Amino acid sequence: MTDPQAGAIRHMYRTQPGMFLPLAFRLLHPGVSYLHNWSVDVLGEALARCHERQSKRLIINTPQRSLKSVCASVAFPAWVLGVRPESKIMCIAGHRTLAEEQHDLARRLMKHPRYRALFPHARVGESTGRLWLAQGGFRAALTPSDALTGLGADMIIIDDPQSAHDADDPQKGGSIRRWYDGNIYQRLDDKHEGVIIVVMQRLSHDDLTAHLLDQGGWEHVNLPAIAVEDEYHGGRLRRRPGEALHPAREDLTGLRDVMLRMGAKAFMAQYQQAPYPPDQCDTSTGLFHTAPHPDASADEFKYTVPWFGEVEEEVFLLDLLFGERTCIRRGGPPPMTTDEWVAWGDSMTTPEGKHEPAEEESVQPGGECGAPGPGHTDKFHVGCEPCSRENIEALKRPRGMWG
């Protein structure tokens, strides 16, 4: 390699965090093969916007083991301190072990000969939980349980603030939201130019990501394990529905096995970054509300979309994400039209959620919407054609992934 070429590469590492991220991985894990993916480029571009203050509030949601922590909590702070050694960076991890692991990785990276050659002025000193530079900058390793009184920063990076073990604990989720509201924004030295970055896998429909998105003003980089729509990043089409995030590392077959092992509820949150709200399933029995598929034969029933009926969550996701439509025998009356099937199925549902034969009911034509009596059930008014049709059409209307 000629000197001009080497100089150009060094310049890219110094000026483009997206180029520095893969280098950091190789320096930290010399015996591990690095498989580059476009998702790392997307993270690098988003982090670069934060560095340039084009974006000051950033949420990154990606599956576990997708390098989000190495990129955002280890390599990026090291790069920022190499470029601007006066920067004050607080890195807050969800628990002490994670905070210490990331801090050790950052220390090793910033003391690596290659890093010191790229950023010769970034000489690192150490104190408990802190890497500091002579120019006044530092990387502080903290957890939500640490007292933040008296601390200030230019940039705050929060990494997986809540454990997946506590995903269904409303008290833990509420405490994290209160902790954020009562502590983080106030720690910015410059409220106008300070940056806050939240890096996490989704855990529940009301986790910290949901809380912050509800407030507005956040850039959101959302990378599910399997695409559910065309994904554009940086003005480019990156993948189509049904494509895995990083097939060289984890293809659809591997993701299918993961889903079946961990369960659909956890998979949708932690891998798909789309936790479904409690009213979309019965978490005690693991049942989804589903719909008949039009391609089913006369004696089959194919589950496809959240609409009507009950089916195990995993069966539902095998269809939604992996295209495996599961055919189930009707076990009921002879073939019917869709409207008739929906009305029949509703009448067969008991409060316990089990489908059992119901007593025959005299079906009368006509009837007023909502009127009690023969021909009307709680949800669908059997025999009241306009009412039944309106209910069915309303349920068909798309309302997002979970309705």
3-223, what's its fold?
A: Rossmann fold (3.40.50)
Report which DSSP code applies to 73. Answer: I
Q: What pLDDT score was predicted for residue 79?
A: 98
Q: Decide: 318 and 326 in contact? Cβ < 8 Å.
A: yes
Report which DSSP code applies to 195. Answer: E
Report which DSSP code applies to 245. Answer: S
Q: What pLDDT score was predicted for residue 282?
A: 46
Give the whole-angstrom CA distance, residue 177 versus residue 200.
14
Could you tell me the residue ranges of all domains in the chain?
A: 3-223, 281-396
Give the whole-angstrom CA distance, residue 110 versus residue 98.
18
Beta bridge partners of 58: 197, 219
Dihedral of the CA atoms 133, 136, 142, 148 (nearest 10)?
160
Give the whole-angstrom CA distance, residue 40 versus residue 43.
5
Identity of residue 271? Y
Q: What pLDDT score was predicted for residue 339?
A: 54
Identity of residue 50? C
Q: What pLDDT score was predicted for residue 396?
A: 36
**Cβ-based neighbour number of residue 339 at 10 Å:** 15
Inter-axis angle of helices 170-183 and 208-215, to 10 degrees?
50
Q: How far is CA 158 from CA 162, 173, 184, 389, in A?
A: 10, 15, 9, 49
Task: Please give the model's pTM, rounded to 2 decimal places.
Answer: 0.74
Each residue's pLDDT, cut to its tens digit, for the chain (403 residues) gives 567 788 888 999 999 999 999 999 999 999 899 999 999 999 999 999 999 999 999 999 999 989 999 999 999 999 999 999 999 999 999 999 999 999 999 999 999 999 999 999 999 998 878 999 999 999 999 999 998 888 999 999 999 998 888 877 888 889 999 999 999 999 999 999 999 999 999 999 899 999 999 999 999 999 999 998 999 998 999 999 999 999 999 999 999 989 888 888 889 899 999 887 765 554 444 444 444 445 555 544 444 333 334 445 666 677 667 776 554 434 444 444 445 544 544 554 444 444 444 444 443 443 344 444 444 443 333 344 444 444 434 333 333 344 3
Q: Which of 99, 94, 43, 47 is nearest to 66 (CA)?
A: 43
The stretches of 198-337 forming alpha helices (DSSP H) are 208-215, 252-262, 264-270, 313-320
